[in-house]
Amino acid sequence: MREKHRFFGNIVVGVLALQGDVIEHRRALDLVGVKSKEVKVPSDLESIDGLIIPGGESTTLSLLVELGGMFDVIGEKIAGRMPIFGTCAGLIMLSKEIIDGRRDQKSFEVFEVSVKRNGYGRQLDSFEAPIALDGTSPPNYPGVFIRAPAVVSLGDKVEVLGKVIKDESPVLIRQGRILGATFHPELTDDLRVHELFISMIEEV
């Protein structure tokens, strides 16, 4: 196990624990040296400094968030500028427009992007490809894409922080305190993306 390299004081990151890669995100946060907590009911949101919505299946997540009465409370936290990070299905849950979504599927509609579910096509449902994390460094971030959404358009406020070299599409994007990845940083040992999210929490 990699040594925890920094002390992040009292930061606690919530991981929405209704479905998907919850344990994997908590493991990555642990390796970064940050405390984490599962968020299952509205009151769990009270003591967190940032929230991760993990990958899984966005139609199921939408249903479970609705059944759990979490749309409004999480929406209020986002409006209150709590940092939030959506990975894969979690990014779909934040996006203003979902292409090929299920008719009854909902999202928080805060990220000014349009995402296409399963946007890399059936044959390439899942693949691994290096990501260039900024314009200058070599593409050396191990991108794991699992039935990943494709970002098809971006609003003016959205910054592209990473592109997959396969087709140069944006895969890591940021709009103020909202971060989104179409890939799964929690499934690799490269902690740079989680560290970036923690630095966004530290800026608050």
Least CB distance to ligand GLN at residue 178 (A): 17
Catalytic residue status for 184? yes
Least CB distance to ligand GLN at residue 96 (A): 16
Catalytic residue status for 88? yes
Cβ neighbours of residue 23 closer than 8 Å, sequence gap 6 or more: none
Residue 85 structure tokens = 């990070």
Least CB distance to ligand GLN at residue 195 (A): 21
Q: Site residues (CB under 6 A) for ligand GLN?
A: 55-58, 88-89, 92, 117-118, 146-147
Are the CB atoms for 107 and 92 separated by under 8 Å?
yes
Question: 27 or 147: whose CB is closer to ligand GLN?
Answer: 147
Q: Which of 3, 25, 159, 186 is catalytic?
A: 186
Question: 95 or 175: whose CB is closer to ligand GLN?
Answer: 95
Task: Report which residue type is found at 28.
Answer: A
Beta bridge partners of 39: 16
Q: Which of 88, 128, 159, 203 is catalytic?
A: 88
* Alpha-carbon distance values, 195 to 124, 128, 179 (Å): 29, 21, 12
Residue 183 structure tokens = 């890939």
Query: Which residues are known to be catalytic?
Result: 88, 184, 186
